[in-house]
Amino acid sequence: MSSLWSLAPCKITLWEHYPVQPSRLSLKLAISNASENKNHSLPLKLCCCDSSDSTAVIGSTNNNSAPPVMRKKKRVRYRREYPGESKGITEEMRFVAMRLRNLKGKKYPSSPHNSNSDCEDSSNDDVEHEQEVKQDNDGETWKPSMDAFVKYLVDSQLVFNTIERIVDDSNDVAYAYFRKTGLERSEGISRDLEWFSEQGIIIPEPSTPGVSYAKYLEELAEKSAPLFLSHFYNIYFSHVAGGQVIERQVSEKILDGRKLEVYRWEGDPEEMLKDVREKLNMLGEHWTRDEKNKSLKEAAKSFKFLGQIVRLIILL
């Protein structure tokens, strides 16, 4: 190293005269006229640098380096929320129901819950449903018959039996949240059909609307829990919101005021519905947006199936 310092009268770059670049050098030295002119000696210049930078020069900077390239930040795009999305999947379904009810100005008695998510205006819903039940799509007054209403009960029982059995027997954890909700209707319908049989009314086999819907529900339950639960939710909401109005109309016209078992609950049905809604919203938080979109499409299918069953009351 002594031979190296003998070159001090000239301003040097240490690496230029060192045969092998040191591997762990962290300081670079700049020496200028230090040995001959002590009065004009310059202070030792030290700078910290990375030893891996073989192009660095002692006492100077690289003025030829290109300026850093400024990268333009990508604009963040936020997805637009679906109607009711902030409140939960059941609120999104409510908006689907509202659009279908107002489609081309036609309204159907089978459409579920027009009330808000807290069921605050359920009394207003009953009034709307009652007006809808009194008239069909062509403005003709409903004239239900005993045989037609029994046919409606038979198909409804098949649908309720199907969803209750699927929920009770399935190993899917999601279905376990909806067991014994208090909304189950199959046993009540069985007692009503037994009473009709005692009155001499022939109890028919389930018809095409009920059979088709039950088969579809079984296939859907094996395919996807979110899609099946969309039907589960809307079947019960439809029954509570529109079914009671149908029952009142039928009771007045053909049953002499008799109240059917299918419309009796042990407790407040609104509270039971609220519990189901909260559980479904909780599960919906873990669904992907694609699963939610598909469940909304299934909600529309549910209204269509239920509408076909309701119309059995006036088709005969």
Mean pLDDT, rounded, for 213-222: 96
Q: What tens digit of pLDDT does each residue of 280-313 get?
A: 999 999 999 999 999 999 999 999 999 999 999 8
pLDDT: which is higher, 274 or 139: 274
pLDDT digit string, tens, across residues 145-192: 899 999 999 999 999 999 999 999 999 999 999 999 999 999 999 999
Which homologous superfamily does the CATH classification assign to the domain defined by 146-314? Answer: Heme oxygenase-like (1.20.910.10)
Give Dmax (Cα) for the chain: 131
Quick one: pLDDT band at residue 251, thresholds 50, 70, 90?
A: confident
What is the structure's pLDDT at 145? 86
What is the mean predicted confidence (pLDDT) over 19-33? 47
275 pLDDT band, cuts 50/70/90, is very high
Residues 6+ apart with CB under 8 A from 156: 185, 189, 210, 262, 309
Q: What is the pLDDT of residue 141?
A: 58
What confidence tier does 116 reach under pLDDT thresholds 50, 70, 90? very low
| pLDDT-derived band at 29, boundaries 50, 70, 90 | very low
Closest CA to 241 of 39, 34, 104, 93: 93
Q: How far is Cα 195 from Cα 147, in angstroms, rounded to an integer?
A: 13
Asked if residue 41 has pLDDT above 70, the reply is no
Give 219-236 as a DSSP string: HHHHH-HHHHHHHHHHHH
**Average pLDDT in the chain:** 75
What's at 89, amino acid-wise?
Answer: I
Q: Taking 60 as the threshold, does the pLDDT of residue 49 lie above it?
A: no
- DSSP string computed for 178-205: TSS-S---HHHHHHHHHHHHHTT---PP
Q: What is the mean pLDDT of residues 45-67?
A: 52
User: Token pair for residue 13?
Assistant: 């770059």
| Structure tokens, 118 | 């807290």
Locate tokens 């006492």: which residue? 59
Cβ atoms within 10 A of the Cβ of 121, count? 13
How far apart are the C-alpha atoms of 259 and 1, rounded to whole Å? 110
pLDDT at residue 94, as a whole number: 87
Q: At residue 28, does pLDDT exceed 60? A: no
Q: Which amino acid is at 85?
A: E
Integer Rg of the chain from CA: 39
Pick the more confident residue, 164 or 112.
164
Q: What percent of the chain has pLDDT over 90?
A: 45
pLDDT at 70 over 60: yes
Q: Residue 237 to residues 99, 168, 186: CA-CA distances in angstroms?
A: 16, 19, 15
In order, the DSSP letters of 271-293 are HHHHHHHHHHHHHHTTS-HHHHH
For residue 5, what pLDDT is reported? 44
Residue range 122-138, pLDDT digits in tens: 434 443 444 444 444 44
Buried b (16+ CB within 10 A) or exposed e, 184-208: bbbebbbebbeebeeeeeeeeebbe
pLDDT value of residue 25: 46
